[in-house]
Amino acid sequence: MTDQLFSTYVVGSLPRLQWVRELIEERKRGKISWEAAERLLDSAVPAAIAMQERAGVDYISDGEWRRESYVKVFADAVDGFGYDLHVEGATHRASQLPYPAVVSKIKPRKPIAADEARFLKQHTKAKTIVAIPSPYTVGRRMWTAEHSTKAYPKREEFMEACIPIIRQEVKRLVDIGVEAIQLDDPWLALLVDPEYREREGIKDADKEKALSVHCVNEVTKGFDNVAFSVHLCHAHFNRKHGTVGPYDLIIDALAPMNVQRFAMEFATPDAGGIGVLKRFPKNKVLGLGCIDHTDKNVETPEQVVQRVEAAMEMVPKENITLNPDCGFSPSSSNPMDLDEAYLKLKSMSQAAQLLREKHG
């Protein structure tokens, strides 16, 4: 089901250089225009691309260096949001970041990721992966009862409004020739943590799972010439996860999703171990999280091989790809180390080659 055994992917984001982090914050505060910031980022992003190429990764991104965050990128491209209206810490025990909230009917203003994808394709011959947020995660992250009910009385209505905008972006990415499109849906995975469900007032997890499946399937419907992934994780900031727990509660939501691959955290102990892979859908590809991005210790290729071979006891080798647990820095303000990320990606790629030699 994969183009080669043990293909390697990034999840998307890489740690930003300090000056890039400062630039994004200045852009947000209006101290520099978006146009001027883009010109500076045009000089920086090729380094993020080259780093992944040097690490030997098969499917690469642009490091998401242009984004403030993996989900705020939606609000940056779509009218209808008020910025910094609520704090992430209310539902995320790892950070206290301010987030936008939808305050009026949304309307697309510019592409979400197509411009950065076009730049990526122009600067690499490698296969590419571009991530955009799922409507379910946008809805969970940026709808609040306090700020959003006048525009969308129910959270589900806001999610439905996001679907056609994200579908339009998928079409742009397909037309550009992106080989893999990733829908980031960590808020589905957060359901596994009972503390998160209590904080959010979620009484019906089955309803939430159905919403996530519906949103993904509506976005991907009719696009048959591109590979889709869904990324699931426990959210993180500064090496701490926002939630913990095994995937047992949500594993049954994977099979009905009209995507080929699921990139999931498994290297971190916070994910609860790989035993749940006994229930992984037989007709799907596993993006095995085999690198713990929150751990400063760089895994050896042999350690990664051991993690993959343990998963092979439950998932056929033909259905396994390799990736880090998550993006190294889904938020630009996340204080992670770029050299460490390089060494981890390099180790993952070396492990993939060892696995091909041993099991090919």
pLDDT digits (tens, 9 = 90+) for 172-217: 999 999 999 999 999 999 999 999 999 999 999 999 999 999 999 9
pTM of the complete model: 0.96
Q: Cα separations (Å) of 95 from 92, 144, 289, 293, 334?
A: 6, 18, 22, 16, 9
| pLDDT value at 90 more than 50 | no
Do 129 and 51 contact (CB within 8 A), yes or no? Answer: no
By CB neighbour count within 10 A (0-12 exposed, 13-18 middle, 19+ buried), where does 347 fall? buried
pLDDT attached to residue 240: 87
Mean pLDDT of the chain: 95
| pLDDT value at 223 more than 80 | yes
> Using 50, 70 and 90 to split pLDDT, how confident is the model at 335?
confident
Do 117 and 67 contact (CB within 8 A), yes or no? Answer: no
Do 162 and 209 contact (CB within 8 A), yes or no? Answer: no
Question: Tokens 């859908």 correspond to what residue?
Answer: 281
| pLDDT value at 32 more than 80 | yes
Question: Tokens 């010109």 correspond to what residue?
Answer: 39
Residue bearing the bigger pLDDT, 59 or 86: 59
Per-residue pLDDT tens over the stretch 259-309: 999 999 999 999 999 999 999 999 999 999 999 999 999 999 999 999 999
- pLDDT-above-90 percentage for the chain: 90
pLDDT attached to residue 88: 60
| pLDDT value at 257 more than 50 | yes
∠ at Cα 271 (269, 274), nearest 5°? 90
| pLDDT value at 358 more than 80 | yes
Distance CA 142, CA 264 (A): 23
| pLDDT value at 77 more than 90 | yes
The mean per-residue pLDDT over the stretch 143-169 comes to: 97
Structural domains present in the chain: 18-359 (3.20.20.210)
Reduced DSSP (H G I as helix, E B as strand, rest coil) percent helix, strand, coil of the chain, to 5: 45, 20, 35
pLDDT attached to residue 238: 84
The mean per-residue pLDDT over the stretch 326-336 comes to: 91
| pLDDT value at 242 more than 90 | no
The mean per-residue pLDDT over the stretch 65-69 comes to: 97
Mean pLDDT is highest, among 48-57, 77-86, 192-201, 235-244, for: 48-57
Closest CA to 213 of 178, 183, 190: 183
pLDDT attached to residue 3: 78
* Contact partners, residue 342, CB within 8 Å, separation at least 6: 51, 54, 55
| pLDDT value at 92 more than 60 | no
State the first-to-last Cα distance of the chain, in angstroms, to the nearest integer.
14
